[in-house]
Amino acid sequence: MGSRRMAVPPFYTCAQEVFMLIKNGFITDPASQRSYASDIRIENGVIQKISADITPAPEEEIIDAAGLTVSPGLIDTHVHFRDPGFTHKENLHTGALAAAKGGFTSVICMANTSPVVDSVPVLNDILQRAQSENIRIYQAASVSHSLNGEELTDMKALKAAGACGFTDDGIPLKNVAFLYTAMEKAKELGVPVSLHEEDPSFIKNNGVNHGSVSDQLGIYGSPSIAEESLVARDCMLALRSGASVVIQHISSGRSVELVRMFKSLGADLHAEATPHHFTLTDEAVLKYGTLAKMNPPLRTEDDRQAIIRGLADGTIDIIATDHAPHSKEEKDRSITAAPSGIIGLETSLALGITSLVRPGHLTMLQLLEKMTVNPAKLYGLPSGRIEEGAPADLILFDPEEKWTPTEYVSMSSNSPFTGWELYGKVKMTICGGKIV
């Protein structure tokens, strides 16, 4: 993946100097593929020095990281902060708090707000308000006006105004010629286009996999062909257009195979896996009800294992939460009436450690690579690495500490993972040299 560096957002310009020294930490840096014990000195939001046994200066704040892993701040390429338009579920501030609690220092918000992020004024409003938050909030713009899938947005103007990529996430793009034109434009602009892959013509009840579980519920559900058919089409379009294309929240094992094949043919393809898709199967719907309803749905154990294999061999190069808050009242509806989606920012790292690292599917470096440097490279973000001169976006966590999520700083609590025993506790999130 080529590097597309972006400027550090304005809130990192500090009026007064800030000095911090992290002592005795175990640095795990996927960008350099190194894990080692060292100290880190931070000055004015930037990593100033990395060395063993740095002598503290009188004015420095000392953080003892003994026994903790120090990694780049996590980057989530796929979140819904519901702002503007649906702020009874989440807003920029509560979303930022949830992100920081989970170790995320950068997030990319999706465009399916109200109004849709399809114009420069809407984009500017979000980015200006985001500057007051203590993490880096980036914004993707929509591919089409009003998410109608037919009229292309002014992608050049939106990119110039700060859009980091383009997506109609939540709605598939059905017009093939339109999508190909959008890919060509995205390639010209040097930004990714991310795709929600569910053909509605195959789906009778969204959010639940078509199979034995949907049969028990007395509904038809959403078959995997709904995803696979669009993934096959869009992998071919990516190969022909040369665009950087992201297959969002991949759920089917056949989809993983398609991405693997087209990558081998030279397509600039990327794929996201969510913690819920590599941890749960559609059986979870029988236990957790609407808290396990999402688009695309949880699928079979074979699909889950295929996703894990795709993560292990690099076919799937990004882990993203698809953080999708909904109110309790909305989720308390019937399985067919409730909205799809779960929150994920506060449990993502722990689920990666619990479901992928501890069973031996991924190393810690591999897990963090998919949550830091890979997203940073894809979207041209300034973070995602631990090196002198880089932004001081870091997290300190204990990979061995057990904990149980019982409440959330997100405005919503729609998660099937409440009450689970998880490994990997975030102890501190540092963004731009500031503890958040």
Number of C-beta neighbours around residue 156 at 10 A: 12
322 catalytic, yes or no? yes
Cα separation, 42 vs 34, in Å, equals 20
Q: Which residues have a Cβ under 8 Å from the Cβ of 424 and sit 6 or more positions away?
A: 349, 350, 352, 353, 354, 397, 398, 399, 400, 401
**Which one, of 225, 160, 167, 169, lies nearest residue 199 by Cα?**
225
Q: Which tokens sit at 79?
A: 């979140």
Tokens (6 digits) for 116: 């849709």
Alpha-carbon span 195 to 45, nearest angstrom: 34
Cβ-Cβ contacts under 8 Å for 330 (sequence gap 6 or more): 89, 338, 339
Residue type, 402: K
Other beta carbons within 10 angstroms of residue 10's beta carbon come to 9
Spatial contact of 248 and 322, defined as CB atoms under 8 Å apart? yes
End-to-end CA distance of the chain: 30
**Residue whose tokens read 């959008």:** 182
Alpha helix locations (H) across 342-397? Answer: 348-352, 364-371, 373-379
- Active-site annotation holder among 39, 322, 332, 393: 322
How far apart, in Å, are the Cα atoms of 3 and each of 21, 244, 289, 316, 376?
29, 12, 42, 18, 8
As beta bridge partners, residue 63 has 22
Rounded CA separation 268/270 (Å):
7
The HSE-up count of residue 429 (CA atoms within 13 Å, CB side) is 23
Q: E strand or H helix at 33, and its extent?
A: none
Catalytic positions: 322
